[in-house]
Amino acid sequence: MDPAAPPASALPDDANLAAARAVRRLGHALAAANIDTHLAERIAQAVHALAAEAEAAPRRDKHLEHAKHSTRYSALVEGRMPDPTPHGHDIEFDRASIVGGPLNPFGLNARHYRDGDEAVTEVNFGPAFEGPPGRVHGGAVALVVDEATATVLPMQGRFGFTGSVSLKLVAPAPLGVDVQFRSRLVGEEGRKLFVHCVATGPEGTFAEADAVYIQVDPRTVPWIAAAIEARGVQSVPSPPD
């Protein structure tokens, strides 16, 4: 999987997705190449000019984005919990996320999908995420773990937030190849959900992690509560105590 290209299951392309993809491509190219001064000056001049135009454009509203593109968000503001993700289907997540969001120009462009009882995150760490020569920066691995473990919640039709993540880097993560983060629910206690994640590449396992997620009542989240109130809906079911 090309780290600058959209995943096979990408949402229908539009100008914003194409622009984000182009910026990712440029970022990886600059991280990998030793360009000459003339090209560097041309890039800086062109990008600064385009950035000025983009900065003058209307700001993006994530509420409107979610309402338009997210069935999960729509379910919550309609007063119902989202449906679990069927086996083999992509797991819906934030389109602007730095890990799996196709709209994020600095993102990893990962793909999340369900495989049985596991949430699978596939990613190819490009040159912009290099730490030691030929290897991925450990912080980038941690970033993916945070979102990969979180996808277990929407996969199961749950709602909550990260409580803690414990990461063990057991080997260097490979750069420029497809790798997988497989996460699954291994236990729960009241509102706590315990998730285990294993990250593997062509050379075997390079990271393992354990995360705790706290299920919350969506009505206690300010932006969801405001949307529910605007719709006059009061029947979002509460998570277990």
Could you read off the pLDDT of 17-61 as tens digits, one per residue?
999 999 999 999 999 999 999 999 999 999 999 999 999 998 887
Predicted structure pTM score: 0.85
Q: Distance between CA atoms of 94 and 153, rounded to whole angstroms?
A: 13
CA distance 37 to 73: 47
Calculate helix-pair angle for 15-32, 37-55, nearest 10 degrees: 150
The two structure tokens encoding residue 30:
């600059």
| Cβ neighbours of 132 (radius 10 Å) | 11
Confidence of residue 88 (pLDDT cuts 50, 70, 90): very high
Please check whether residue 179 is in contact with residue 188, taking contact to mean a CB–CB distance below 8 angstroms: no
User: Could you read off the pLDDT of 195-234 as tens digits, one per residue?
Assistant: 999 999 999 999 999 999 999 888 788 877 777 777 765 5
Q: Is residue 2's pLDDT more than 80? A: no
pLDDT for residue 1 = 56
The residues, any chain, with a CB within 8 Å of residue 173's CB and separated by 6 or more, are: 125, 135, 136, 138, 140, 141, 179, 199, 201, 206, 207
Q: Amino acid letter at 115?
A: D
pLDDT beyond 80 at 194? yes
Domains of the chain and any CATH numbers: 62-231 (3.10.129.10)
Report the C-alpha gap between 173 and 134 in whole angstroms.
Answer: 9
Q: Does 86 have pLDDT greater than 90?
A: yes
Contact (Cβ atoms closer than 8 angstroms) between residue 210 and residue 166: yes
Tokens in use for 234?
């009061």
Neighbour-count burial of 188, counting CB atoms closer than 10 A to its CB (0-12 exposed, 13-18 middle, 19+ buried): middle
pLDDT band at residue 239 using 50, 70 and 90 as cut-offs: low
- In whole angstroms, give the CA distance from residue 145 to residue 165: 8
